[in-house]
Amino acid sequence: MSYDFYADFWDDRRCGANFRGIDEGYKSGKVYSKIKLAALHLNTLNNKNWAKKNKYTPYIKSDYISNVIVPENERMERLNIKEPNLSISALLQYSAFIKINFKLKKPYISRDDEEFYIIDNPVSKEKVFKVPYVRASSWKGNLRWVMGDVMKVDTDITKRICGNDRNESEDKELKRGRLQFYPTFFNKIGLDVINPHDRKTKTGKNPILYEVVPDGASGTFSLLYVPFDLIGNEKELKKQVHEDLEVISDAVEKLLTVYGFSAKKTSGYGIAELKDKFFDINCPESEKKEFKKIISNAIKI
């Protein structure tokens, strides 16, 4: 006999989720399963309002942090996948690694593609561990935007650092960038309300509830730079690495502390406070001080 995960927790009287059955069936703290089941309750306005009043806050805030985010972050640390763990000396000459620990000053918003969820605007979560995170591709897109649209960096430099723009025609010669981006996992989750205002009356029209990573949450930004396309070109190697690291460090500082990396960043979302940084580069010891100075001058903590 087949088993339907959602049908087993359906309540005909409410035409929605059977919350008593959900709470009793998942006392062990499987909060994400509760949230998925609670999405059954979003089929009528009355059910939405009831679930919003009674279930959103505990499911998404305290329960989710203690039963999902904390243990899953610990699991990722044990598996050595939460942050990149690499030996810079094993990489190509002048490969560099930057790591920055930060704390959010403004909430982070990023739309998830989850089909069934207790609210209409869930924050992006890692597929396996269900921890709120910033995708590596999001970091790349945001950094490219800062370089190109804000700093007006030369197109050739942006392309060699980040690679071709995905909007470029496929018949062009595509090139991989020198940067490797990594996801960032957060330690908190919460709710925020955005109330769009009517331009004529200046009054709120329809408050929209968002799941967010709240201000005060911590994360780590990690970035690996590998000048793989300069192998054998010693004349250009150090010159371009010096040029690239100046651009990268300046762009990272502006992205994290000035412009933000969240959806709705024009409204101030996704701004962070830098807590500490780590930098290493595979080069002769006599040259390391010079490169570290480049990073320190741009990324001030």
| H-run or E-run covering 131 | none
Q: What is the pTM of this model?
A: 0.85
Question: How remote is the C-alpha of 191 from its chain's centroid?
Answer: 16
Write the DSSP string, 210-249: EEEB-TT-EEEEEEEE--GGGTT-HHHHHHHHHHHHHHHH
Distance between CA atoms of residues 98 and 104, nearest Å: 19
| H-run or E-run covering 271 | none
Q: What is the pLDDT of residue 112?
A: 87
Distance between CA atoms of residues 184 and 135, nearest Å: 7
Q: What is the pLDDT of residue 57?
A: 63
Is the CB of residue 221 less than 8 Å from the CB of residue 252? yes
Q: What is the pLDDT of residue 102?
A: 98
Q: What is the pLDDT of residue 66?
A: 87
Is the CB of residue 124 less than 8 Å from the CB of residue 112? yes
Tokens of 248: 């990268």
Beta-ladder partners of 129:
none
Q: What is the pLDDT of residue 161?
A: 95
Tens of pLDDT along the chain (301 residues) come to 555 555 656 666 656 556 666 666 555 457 777 777 666 666 566 666 666 666 556 667 778 898 899 999 999 999 999 999 999 999 999 999 999 999 999 999 998 887 777 778 889 999 999 999 999 999 999 999 999 999 999 999 999 999 987 665 555 677 889 999 999 999 999 988 887 666 676 666 778 888 999 999 999 999 999 999 988 888 889 999 999 999 999 999 999 999 999 999 988 899 999 999 999 999 999 999 999 999 999 998 8
Q: What is the pLDDT of residue 113?
A: 80
Q: Is 127 exposed, middle or buried (0-12, 13-18, 19+ CB in 10 A)?
A: exposed
